[in-house]
Amino acid sequence: MTIRSIKFVGFATLIVIGLNGCKPVERDRCTVEGTATLGGKPLSGFGIALFSDETGGGGGMVQDDGSFQIAGPIQESEYTISFVIPAETKGAAREKLEAMNLPAKYRRSQTSDYKVTLVPGNNVLTIDLKQPVAGSP
């Protein structure tokens, strides 16, 4: 084997190792799906967001039946869940979502106290937020 061949093989090996190093670690890959309701009623039309200070997060849309899937996969971590009315939702559709009276604390990741810990593999979440009792803080 010539020096030129040895250099080429060494270079090719470094390329293969480098490309494999860019792939996400399989053990950290999580998929997320589930249902989201407020007092048993689907949160259809809301966007759902998962956020972690450590890993970022992901999001998706709640469907008519309350089901959702988070685009991913995302990493294993603890996440805060929040729900938003998409900016493009206007008129009667926006009024309908606002009329559901989703408690304000669930509308921002900074104030939501709904947390989940994702583990490698498929994570199926059942989120049933409660309406505050009238007269309570």
* DSSP tag of 78: E
Average of per-residue pLDDT values in the chain: 82
| Total number of domains constituting the chain | 1
**Per the domain annotation, does 94 fall within a domain?**
yes
Please say whether the beta carbons of 89 and 47 come within 8 A: no
Residue 87, domain member (yes or no): yes
Rounded average pLDDT over 10-32: 53
Domain with 56 in it:
26-129
CATH number at residue 110: 2.60.40.1120
Quote the percentage of the chain above a pLDDT of 70: 75
| Residue 51 included in any domain | yes
pTM to 2 decimal places: 0.75
Asked if residue 102 belongs to a domain, the reply is yes
